[in-house]
Amino acid sequence: MKEDRPTSFDIAYLAGVSQSTVSRALRNSPLVSKETRDKVQSIAKQLNYKVDINARNLRSKHSNTIALLFCEDPGSGDSLINPFFLSMLGSITRATANRGYDLLISFQQSSADWQADYEDSHRADGIIFLGYGDYVTYSQRIRKLEREGAHFITWGPVLAQQPGVFVGCDNHNGAYRMVKHLLALGRRHIAFIGGADEHCPEFRERYQGYQHALREAGLAVDPRLQADAETTEAAGYRAVRQLRGAGLAFDAVFGASDLIAIGAIKALQEAGISVPGDIAVVGFDDIPTASYTSPPLTTVQQDTKVAGELLVSNLLKLVNGEAVSSQLLPAALIVRGSCGQAAG
């Protein structure tokens, strides 16, 4: 009886690592430490392990599957998914199906090594990232994927000299147009609720658009009217209470997301403040709930249909070896009852 030939699983068992780590170590992947690579390669040599060319060729074929990885958002309830991404999920699903691909959905936090879980294990041909958590940390991680030659694309900010390929909204211009709209309604003391640093560049770009519109109108930017907040209703609620507790006067609130704005409306109404009679409130995203708040929320709409289509089509271009550049999508103002009408 012919003795069984050693497999990569045998090496994995002896080395105390996963089979995907063995695969990467045998091709000198920089994602595997030198110590682990040397250990795996030494065991392979001892076992006289030979790569099965037929199996390798079979694995090299496309899986016809795309992996969609969400960033977990604890502030979004049991689903852990920012509701903004739910409409984009529908668009991505349709675009994927129209191209004969399946969609594999997971959370980013389920693994510290995305490529090993999906591309290297041949479960997916490429990865779409929705949400990124802390951008500074995320950009460091995707630089490693880029060096490894992984196929991936991200919905997020489009910045100069960033790693990877992004599809994103023109956050600066969207916020600029929204503040111009508030100014045209006679609002002059506009609070901005949302972070404004490098860890969340989308919010930072919205804050910069807010500043641009105020300065263009000859108004000073009051840093006291900017309050940090994550993308949750609770954060928007707390931020408004914080601003009011500091004795600051404002006649409008610009929430960096719809969830923040919805929380802001709740805080104002609980305090007996009329929205929009006393204070106008606007948001950013146009999530489905925005049109059902009381009053309905004026917001900046991001085109999730076009975004989903571009994420899928550009990812598949990357998979096929085509050059792809990051793309910025225009935003649209959706005017509803939360900001009122111009006086007179």
Amino acid identity, position 175:
A
Report the distance separating Cα 27 and Cα 33, nearest Å: 12
- Cα separation, 5 vs 48, in Å, equals 9
Using CA atoms, how far apart are residues 295 and 333, in angstroms rounded to an integer?
Answer: 16
Q: What is the CA radius of gyration of the chain?
A: 24
**Neighbour tally for 344: CB within 10 Å:** 4
* Parts of the chain with a pLDDT under 70: 1-4, 29-30, 51-61, 72-80, 109-116, 119-121, 341-344
Q: What is the pLDDT of residue 58?
A: 44
3-class secondary-structure state, position 323: coil
d(CA 86, CA 82): 7
Mean pLDDT of the chain: 87
What pLDDT, on the 0 to 100 scale, is given for residue 252? Answer: 98
| Domain architecture of the chain: domains with CATH | 8-60 (1.10.260.40), 65-169+304-329 (3.40.50.2300), 171-302+333-339 (3.40.50.2300)
Give the pLDDT score at 228. Answer: 95
Separation of CA 260 from chain center: 17
pLDDT of residue 75: 54
Q: Note the pLDDT of residue 134.
A: 86
The DSSP H or E segment spanning 228 is none
Cα–Cα distance measured from residue 86 to residue 178, given in angstroms and rounded to the nearest whole number: 24
Output the CA angle 171-282-255, nearest 5 degrees: 65
What is the per-residue pLDDT across 193-219, written as a single tens digit (0 to 9) for each?
A: 999 889 999 999 999 999 999 999 999
Tokens of 126: 């490429």
Residue 36, amino acid: T
Q: What is the pLDDT of residue 9?
A: 83
